[in-house]
Structure 1
């Protein structure tokens, strides 16, 4: 999270780059949550 804040301070005033960084971080987080929940679900089916 610190990386996003630091990049937000480094970008141009229009904030377009920071918005894209935040969108990318949110996308990666959502993918990780989906993957983790799928793994837990499959593990519960197995056991």
Structure 2
């Protein structure tokens, strides 16, 4: 596998930081999505799968 920095022009440290930030953002989005589904279900009265 090639070094990701070869494709991004970023240093490996920056790539690691970006990946960590993306993981954190992904977790936040997943939590927000879960909350939205809960609110939708509460409003519609539909049971969750």
TM range (shorter): 0.5 to 0.7
TM-score of the superposed pair, with normalisation by structure 2: 0.65
The aligned residue for residue 18 of structure 1 is 15
Q: 2:24 aligns with which of 19, 23, 27?
A: 27
Report whether the alignment pairs 1:44 with 2:41.
Answer: yes
Q: How many pairs does the alignment contain?
A: 39
5+ residue gaps, structure 1 = none
TM-score of the superposed pair, with normalisation by structure 1: 0.67
Task: Give the drift of 1:46.
Answer: 1.4
Alignment RMSD: 1.4
Task: Give the drift of 1:45.
Answer: 1.0
Post-superposition, which runs of at least 4 consecutive aligned residues in structure 1 deviate over 4 A? none
Structure 1 or 2, whichever has the larger Rg, is 2
